Structure 1
Amino acid sequence: MKRIIGVIILNLVFLTYSYAGFSVIKPSFGITLNRAKTQEQLIMNTGNKNLRVKIYAEKPANLKDEELYMGDWVKVYPRYVTIPANGRKRVRFIVKPPKDRHIADGEYRCVLYYEEIKQIGDEGFSLRVGTPIYGRTGNLIYAAEYEKLKVKKTQKGYKLNGVVKNTGNTSFALRAEIKFYDKKNKLLKKIDKKAASLFRGTTKNIGIELEEIKKTSKITVLFYEKNKKYKFEKIYKL
């Protein structure tokens, strides 16, 4: 009796999915407007297919004053780039304020966007990455006004609440140095926390949680800009 041995050949089919993705190296730019200098950004294609990107400036969503928008001063080259899979490309830009306009001292802003251009047959949303550009000129003023500042007792300790408005002409990060004292004015503890990121002309709520320090009878709060160009102190007796 003959045996018939059947050999089954399995063809393995590997499905390859294409995907797009990209990132930029620098998250933001701070420049001096009266000294025009070319800036560079590196775009990284993290996908497995070629990527077409356009670069353009837009007004930040939280910028209300049109006079403080500088997107029209930004010149990008090239404005369109094609980046191979897992490759990278450099783009350059320069910010040049118009010569026929008086530029007041202070900070001006825009966002430089890098947006994927969809090709025929591509599905999904276009990817977009934005990097803020801060342009500063002249005398920068760091200032703020406060409302409803108070320290309230909570179950876990205290909470510092209030409202702060940037009344200067530039953005800055507001920090709070908080000190706890006893009845004899002896320092019990000192902490430092971020209070708010203040863009020019914006208002922010402050809410800082503080732990309970035994024997505390006085709390002092020193609001300041990181380079100590601005200070404001408030004292609370408990």
Structure 2
Amino acid sequence: MSLFVAGQITVDWPLAAHSFWPILQGGLIYTIPLAMISFVFGLIIAMGMALLRLSHVTVLRWIARVYISIIRGTPLLVQLAIIFFGLPDLGIDVSPLIGAVVALSMNVGGYAAETIRASILSVPKGQWEAGYTIGMGYGQTLRRIILPQAARVSIPPLSNSFISLVKDTSLASTITVTELFRRAQEITATSYDFLLLYSEAALIYWIFCFILSIIQGRIEARLDRYVASNE
């Protein structure tokens, strides 16, 4: 256990070295895959909600608006609890991992929908007209002309959303998913060295997010060069 003596902290280095790999392993096996899977499904939901928000059908627009409002207006922790602890009351049992994927995906869908919608709206209306002029329908114009241009606008904020999602996966520990933070909690339960182990977990989260930030920067730089070369 770490000790605080006369203003100094004595670190239990053997415990730090012994616990680092199990915590990191929880991040590699559960945290990152959980974030990636949830983000992919979340983008699918977000795309659907964004298109509904842009629909000319009032009922469809309101369905999307209500969904987005509920997701953005309630805490992710509550959403996790409803899915994992609440659904069994309706006879729907889900495993911790599936429950976490569903909750995180729905959460991403609610937030990313507005990002995608704004990105689509940022494309000049003349691009739609150009697609219709050459004989494309709504779906073809959207898929071949609008979405590629909207993607360049949406990638930076969506990348930030993914980095935030990596940190939000720590909430999955509340439903016993053995991700990074859950591993730290399990080791803490026997060592009682809260400061050391939680700081170690924070360090690993920071390393993950730092690496993702570097990747994000390179993707944005490549997109900037691509846009500049096509202007």
Query: Same-fold call, TM > 0.5?
Result: no
Q: State TM-score, norm by structure 1.
A: 0.22
Higher helix share: 2
Which of structures 1 and 2 has the larger relative contact order (alpha carbons within 8 angstroms, sep 6+)?
A: 2
Higher strand share: 1
